[in-house]
Amino acid sequence: MKKILVPTDFSNEAENAIKVAAQLAEKHNCELILLHMLDLPLVQLNAGSAPADLPEAVYFMKLAHKQFEEVLKKPYLDNVTVTEMVDFHDINTGIIEVSKEHQIDLIIMGSHGASGLKEMFIGSNAEKLVRTSDIPVLVIKNEHHNFNIEEFVFASDFENDNRETFKQAVKLAEMFSAKIHLLMVNTIANFTTTASAKVKIQEFIAGTAFNNYSTNIYNDETVEKGILNFSHIIDADLIGISTHGRQGIAHFFNGSLSEDIVNHAKRPVITFKI
């Protein structure tokens, strides 16, 4: 891991993400890129003008750099190589483009989650990002003075399309010397016997050299509740889950388990794109 990106709106939630990113960057000698995206409607209304030529855009850019000055004074960034960026773009699309351009290895984003009508009609930037990002996204909900992962839940249906995401999870676990708790959630609508489920998990991880893991079959009303309840029981430090990146009409009808977990979990969540 060489580069970490943290999108920031200078909120408390964003600062929580920056603090975690700073700890990882210092420990693993990574460059930390802080990105503030100016999503200005006026840019779209003045298609003939470059954003930087508009007085309003210049004002907001100067304001962003002023806020970055205060961020860079924080003591937790003293031993970290930090690059600040201000760009004009749709927030989600802009983050994806910057990540590709700068070959980002991990995106860390702060979130307070969403619920009810807010979740249905607005959602959160973190929720949108996990749906579209090809790069792993670590979502931070709270302040972590010492971000360390010891108990890592990897929830999956253990189908073949999850193999690559599992490899990414293993790399992360090795980086933290963490134990992976492989979790399959059983529901009434999609029931598998414990014996069959264990065989499926063992076949899934066959040939993997990583051996610091446990296998777990957990019964609950829904897969989401099962992941959240199991993670609470073992006091997990991190939940890992694959995302199919559904968009458009498919996302509307099918929903996305990863987005629901990101919104509702009270602990850090990392998503891996299938």
Tell which wins on pLDDT, 186 or 251: 186
Backbone angles phi, psi at 123, to 5 degrees: 70, -170
Cβ-contact 216, 230 below 8 angstroms:
yes
Q: What is the pLDDT of residue 128?
A: 78
Backbone angles phi, psi at 142, to 5 degrees: -135, 175
Q: What is the pLDDT of residue 119?
A: 44
Cβ-contact 101, 3 below 8 angstroms:
no
Confidence at 246, pLDDT banded by 50, 70, 90:
low
Q: What is the pLDDT of residue 40?
A: 62
Q: What is the pLDDT of residue 243?
A: 86
Q: What is the pLDDT of residue 50?
A: 56
Q: What is the mean pLDDT of the chain?
A: 86
Cβ-contact 183, 156 below 8 angstroms:
yes
Question: Interhelix angle for 194-205 vs 163-176, to 10°?
Answer: 80
Q: What is the pLDDT of residue 244?
A: 74
Q: What is the pLDDT of residue 112?
A: 76
Query: What are the counts of helices (DSSP H) followed by strands (DSSP E) for the chain?
Result: 11, 10
CA distance 14 to 167: 28
Q: What is the pLDDT of residue 114?
A: 59
Average pLDDT of the residues in 88-96: 85
In this predicted structure, which of 65-74, 156-165, 170-179, 247-256 has the lowest mean pLDDT?
A: 247-256
CA distance 95 to 128: 11
- Predicted TM-score of the model (pTM): 0.88
CA distance 23 to 138: 14
Query: What is the DSSP pairing of strand 137-140 with strand 269-273?
Result: antiparallel
CA distance 104 to 240: 19
The encoded tokens of residue 20 equal 């975690």
Confidence at 68, pLDDT banded by 50, 70, 90:
very high
Q: What is the pLDDT of residues 146-155, one digit of tens each?
A: 999 999 999 9
Q: What is the pLDDT of residue 252?
A: 37
The encoded tokens of residue 50 equal 């470059």
Q: What is the pLDDT of residue 253?
A: 37
Q: What is the pLDDT of residue 74?
A: 96
Q: What is the pLDDT of residues 118-131, one digit of tens each?
A: 443 334 677 778 88
> Bridge partners of 218?
185
| Statement: residue 51 has pLDDT above 60 | no
Domains of the chain: 3-140 (3.40.50.620), 151-273 (3.40.50.620)
What is the number of alpha carbons within 13 Å of residue 146 lying toward its C-beta? 1
Q: What is the pLDDT of residues 194-236, one digit of tens each?
A: 999 999 999 999 989 999 999 999 999 999 999 999 999 999 9
Confidence at 255, pLDDT banded by 50, 70, 90:
very low
Q: What is the pLDDT of residue 117?
A: 41
Tell which wins on pLDDT, 93 or 204: 204
Cβ-contact 244, 256 below 8 angstroms:
yes
DSSP letter, residue 161: G
